[in-house]
Amino acid sequence: MLNPNLAESDQASIAQKAKQARASAQAPPAPAARQALLQQAAELLSREDAVLVAHYYVDSDLQELAEDTGGCVADSLEMARFGFTHSASTVVVAGVRFMGETAKILSPEKRVLLIEPQAECSLDLGCPADTFSTFCDQHPDRTVIVYANTSAEVKARADWVVTSSIARDLVADLSAKGEKMIWAPDRYLGDYVKRQTGADLLLWDGSCIVHEEFKGEVLSNLKKQHPRAKVLVHPESPASVIELADVVGSTTQLIVAAQQLDSSFFIVATEEGILHKMRQTAPDKTFLAAPTAGEGATCVSCARCPWMKMNDLQRLIATLQAGSSQVSIDEEIRIRAEVPIHRMVEYGRQRA
């Protein structure tokens, strides 16, 4: 069952914000300018005692800069963990707002900067804290599980925070204990977990505007053209895409699968920024983005997250120069949000 409470105006607002984000993306710098920008950004990071933590979905310049300057390129949880354990006094997040908030929740004493404070996420936007809290109040017998792609306020209302890497196992464990659950905000991932575990999950009706664009029928035709290809799918994708997958997993799990599977050709259904890391870690293999076009397609995203693509070298430099875009979270919310995040980290640690 899906949550019927999400207003149509919320959906329209998400589409409008995505459109604005797409319009604000800057053209990549010319090669000569790029080198100068990389050098300037590296010097500023050093001057500001700052470490750059980048998500797999941001552009390759930022990924390379993060690695070359002692930062990291990772999924959202590892980004927060890395910022927490690193000695730098400032953590600069190349990603979207909820990632900056998670870093701040775990490292309240550090200065956490977002390269682009307007970088949002349709899952976060599609789960407003007040509406969600009311929904939870209507189902007091259910354990509340929220995905990492949510605001600090929503995390503060949850019993558990999860990433896609542990979602299925955690839900299976809680279900085995007889627990009924609310799952938010991604309905596709929730539906996948529900089908995998048979758990009693009440699903919030949110979606990632990038992953929901992948098309099962067109992917099926592409597979026929490349019968030896392995298909890697992120579980925020529709069921018709997931059922064609050789591997369904989190960003990190898909990168590892690309290295380990005995295939030289992959079709990848997740945000196209991940292809940089896949090509870097498996240079002899060929990677093709899964189709977002085809019958009924609008190609609203074309596998590119409009908010992730707001992050670029020029904005990073401006942020470091101004010391702007600091993440701040109400301390009472932060303390409450920290509890389900630590629960998740401990669950992951026990399973490692």
- Residue 11: CB minimum distance to ligand SF4, A: 13
Closest CA to 230 of 240, 241, 245: 245
Residues in region 3-32 near ligand SF4 by CB under 6 A: none
- Does 210 engage in binding with ligand SF4 (CB under 6 A)? yes
Question: Which is closer to ligand SF4, CB of 45 or CB of 100?
Answer: 100
Figure out which of the listed residues 3, 63, 143, 149 binds ligand SF4, where binding follows CB under 6 A.
Answer: 149
Using an 8 Å Cβ cutoff, are 287 and 274 in contact?
no
Of 65-73, 203-211, 215-223, 237-245, the segment contacting ligand SF4 by CB under 6 A is 203-211
Using an 8 Å Cβ cutoff, are 229 and 285 in contact?
no
Figure out which of the listed residues 123, 241, 282, 320 binds ligand SF4, where binding follows CB under 6 A.
Answer: 123
CA distances to 75, 194, 248 from 254, rounded to whole Å, are: 11, 21, 7
Residues in region 261-280 near ligand SF4 by CB under 6 A: 271
Binding mask 167-196 for ligand SF4 (x = CB under 6 A): ------------------------------
Question: Which is closer to ligand SF4, CB of 48 or CB of 213?
Answer: 213
23 CB-near residues (< 8 Å, 6+ apart): none
Of 24-32, 121-129, 160-168, 343-351, the segment contacting ligand SF4 by CB under 6 A is 121-129
Residue 145, phi then psi, degrees to nearest 5: -115, 125
Residues in region 302-341 near ligand SF4 by CB under 6 A: 305, 307-308
- Residue 305: CB minimum distance to ligand SF4, A: 3
DSSP percent split of the chain into helix, strand, coil, nearest 5: 50, 15, 35
Figure out which of the listed residues 106, 115, 121, 316 binds ligand SF4, where binding follows CB under 6 A.
Answer: 121
Q: What's the DSSP call for residue 94?
A: E
Q: Which two tokens stand for residue 71?
A: 């930062």
- Does 258 engage in binding with ligand SF4 (CB under 6 A)? no
Residue matched to tokens 């899952």: 123
- At position 73, the amino acid (one-letter code) is V
What is the longest distance spanned by two Cα atoms in the chain? 60
- Residue 230: CB minimum distance to ligand SF4, A: 22
Q: How many residues does this entry show for the chain?
A: 352
Radius of gyration, alpha carbons of the chain = 20
- Residue 312: CB minimum distance to ligand SF4, A: 16
Using an 8 Å Cβ cutoff, are 234 and 269 in contact?
yes
- Residue 246: CB minimum distance to ligand SF4, A: 21
Q: How many residues bind ligand SF4 (CB under 6 A)?
A: 13
CA distances to 16, 91, 219 from 70, rounded to whole Å, are: 36, 12, 38
Question: Which is closer to ligand SF4, CB of 22 or CB of 180?
Answer: 22
- Residue 278: CB minimum distance to ligand SF4, A: 16
CB atoms closer than 10 angstroms to residue 221 = 12
- Does 122 engage in binding with ligand SF4 (CB under 6 A)? yes
| Residues binding ligand SF4 (CB under 6 A) | 57, 96, 121-123, 149, 208-210, 271, 305, 307-308
